Structure formats: structure tokens, C-alpha cells
Amino acid sequence: MARALLLRSASSALTLLLVTLIVFLLLHLLPGDPFSEDELVGPRRLTRAQVAEIRALYHLDEPVHRQYLLWLQDLLRGDLGASFQDRRTVASKIAERLPVTVTLNALALALMVGLSVPLGTLAAWRPGSGLDRAAGAGTYALYALPVFWAALLLQIVFSARLGWLPLLGLASDRAAELGALERLADRAAHLVLPTVCLAYPGLAYLSRFVRSSLLEGTSGEFERAGRARGLTALGVLVRHGFRLASVPLLTLAGFLLRHLVAGSVLVEWTFAIPGLGLLFVEAVLARDVPVVMGLTLVSSVATLAGTFLADVLYAAADPRVRHA
């Protein structure tokens, strides 16, 4: 087990290095170099010396391989570089936006689990029944529902038409005047629609997972073993089914990490929520290379870590995997 873990870590580290190289190369094939002399000397009225100074600041005067090594060196010190837009460090920009995105994703995850476990259980209770088929078809359609369209429709219905929930942002304009409790309610109201939008695409995947693990746990040898010990059908479901279903649920820890940034991009953009996803789009629109690079890297690392974590948890929870 320890040996396998070590091997797995080493291979992840190698993949990580390759990811940094890909991300670096990707953004250094830059044609629209925002600090080229064409961009700055003419339109922005800077002198050549000033341009050279800026280029030196971002290591743009070095050959490409040196730039990569310098960037990697900084990376090891946790330094992701500075934004082209306001010279603030990328790390501080990410740190500032992280809590919003994490909160949103944690809420979405809670909603996802809260809905998919009962849904999957109901579907698995009588496989092939009308309820099972309806749940399957419904979550299947949700899976194909484009998140930005759903977000727009929800905005139209619940914000514009009914006026129940706020349209955009994280807080009302008058939030500063509110008391603590009211401010919390205001924040919660702002989070409802984004949370729903983040949660529903995973519903199909997750409830199907719950359903098939429950089915596996309540049929075949599990069922026979359970019944032999005098368990009722419900007992088998609880004792074997949920035990098996807990395995894919654990991998959700990985799922959350994998989708943290990428999953939030469209939702945060639509609802104007200042999280990592919005930061990414803003950086792309402004051609802010260090921020795009930093965020791509961070979310790739999160993906890698998420997969790694999921594998380890999976092995810990399922003896069949552990001893394989």
C-alpha cells in the first residue's frame, strides 16, 4: 500500500511538471505580447527604456527556456508572478477570490449529495419502475442542460418576473446598512440561484452512481449473504447498499477539487459573482497572462490532487480495491 502510494505520488509529480511546461508554452507562444514595443511605445507613449524596464520586470528579455526556469523557480517559492493589469501578485488575487468560490462549491456539493442520495435510493428500490425511469430520464436531461442557459432562465423567472431573488452579485447595494442577521439573509438569497446552477449538472452522474452501487449491494452475493443472516430487504439496503454507495460519495472530495475553477467560470460570469471563475474570464478578456497561467495551473494542480485524493480514499473505503 505504502509502495503503491509512493509510486502514485512520483507519477503525479512528473505529470505536474509536464502541466507547468504545457501551460507555460501555451501562453508564451504569445503573439499579442502586451509588452511589445509596438504596443507600448506608440499607443501608450512610453520610452524604449521604460519598455525595456517593464520587460525585465517580467523576465520577458530572457530567452524562452530561461523564462521557464525562472518562472518555475518562482513557482516553487509559491510566487505565481504579478498581474499585468495592476502589478498585484497573482497569489494574492487568487487568495482574495478563493473563499467565495469555495463557499459556493461547498453549498452546491451539499445540495448535490442531499438530492442525489434519496433520488438514487428511490430509483434503486424498484429498478425499472416508473419512478426509476423518471428519475433517470430527468437527471439525464438535466445533464445536457447548458448551465448558462439554465442560469438565464432562472434569473428571468425568479429575479425579473417573480422578484423573489436578486439578479446579480453577492450582496445588495444597501447591504452595508443592514444588521448582521439581515446581511446574512441577503447573502443567502444571492447564493440560491448560483448554488442550484452549480449543483444540477452533477446530479445525473451522482444519482446514477448511488443507484448502481445500491443495486450491486442489494443483489447477488451481497443480497444472499444478507438474507442468510436474516436481514430484511431494507436491512440489506442499509447494511450493504449504503456501504458500497459510500465509496463513490467519497470520491466527491476529488470531484469538488476538479471542478472548482472550471465549473465556476460560467456560473460566476452569469451571476457576476467575484470568485475564481470570474477572475479567470476577466484575465482572459484583458490578456492578463500571469493570471490566466496561474489560475490554469492552480486548477490543474487541484484536478491532480483531487484525482489522487479520490484514489486514496477509494482504496481506503473499499477493501476490494485495497487488496487488489
Partner 1 sequence: MRRFRGNLQAGAGLVGLLAIAAGAAPYLASDIAWVSRGPGGVRFPILGSADLRRVAGAEEQPVLRAPIPYGPDLTDLDAILTAPSGRHWLGTDGLGRDVASRVLHGGRVSLTVGLAATAVALLLGLPLGAVAGYAGGAVDAAVSRLVEAVLCIPVLLLALALLTASPPALRGLPDTLLLASVIGLASWAPVARYLRGEFLRLRQSEMALLARASGAGPLRVIVRHLLPSALPPVIVAAAFGVAAAILLEAALSFLGLGVRPPTPSWGGMLTEARHHVDRAWWLALFPGAALFLAVLGCNMLGEGLRDLLDPRQRRR
- Contact map string, positions 231 to 270, toward partner 1, x by CB under 8 A: ---------------------------xx-xx--xx--xx
Amino acid at residue number 140:
Y
Exactly one of 6, 22, 72, 184 binds partner 1 (CB under 8 A); that residue is 22
Identify the burial level of 246 via C-beta atoms within 10 angstroms of its C-beta, where 0-12 means exposed, 13-18 middle and 19 or more buried: middle
Is residue 284 involved in binding partner 1 (CB under 8 A)? yes
**Least CB distance from residue 124 to partner 1, whole Å?**
11
Supply φ then ψ for residue 290, to 5 degrees. Answer: -60, -40
> Of 133 and 322, which CB lies nearer to partner 1 in the complex structure?
133
H or E, element range at 96? helix 90-125
Exactly one of 42, 63, 78, 128 binds partner 1 (CB under 8 A); that residue is 128
> Of 41 and 142, which CB lies nearer to partner 1 in the complex structure?
142
Is residue 139 involved in binding partner 1 (CB under 8 A)? no
| Binding-residue total with partner 1 (CB under 8 A) | 59
Site for partner 1 in 33-92 (CB under 8 A): none
Exactly one of 10, 57, 72, 137 binds partner 1 (CB under 8 A); that residue is 137
Provide Rg for the chain, Cα atoms.
Answer: 25
Q: What is the 3-state secondary structure (H, E, C) of 62-82?
A: CCHHHHHHHHHHHHHCCCCCE
**Least CB distance from residue 184 to partner 1, whole Å?**
26
Stretch that binds partner 1, among 13-21, 53-61, 94-102, 235-243 (CB under 8 A): 13-21
Q: Which residues contact 277 (CB under 8 A, 6 or more apart)?
A: 101, 261, 262, 263, 264, 265, 266, 267, 268, 269
Other Cβ atoms within 10 Å of 51 Cβ, number: 19
Supply φ then ψ for residue 273, to 5 degrees. Answer: -100, 125
- Contact map string, positions 147 to 186, toward partner 1, x by CB under 8 A: -xx--xx-xx--xxx-----x-------------------
- Say how far apart CA 302 and CA 19 lie, in whole Å: 12
Is residue 14 involved in binding partner 1 (CB under 8 A)? yes
- Say how far apart CA 230 and CA 248 lie, in whole Å: 27
Q: Is 209 helix (H, G, I), strand (E, B) or coil?
A: helix
Which spans of this chain sit near partner 1 (rule: CB under 8 A)?
Answer: 14-16, 18-19, 22-23, 26-32, 128, 133, 136-137, 141, 143-146, 148-149, 152-153, 155-156, 159-161, 167, 212, 215, 258-259, 261-262, 265-266, 269-270, 280-281, 284-285, 287, 289, 292-293, 295-296, 299-301, 303-304, 307
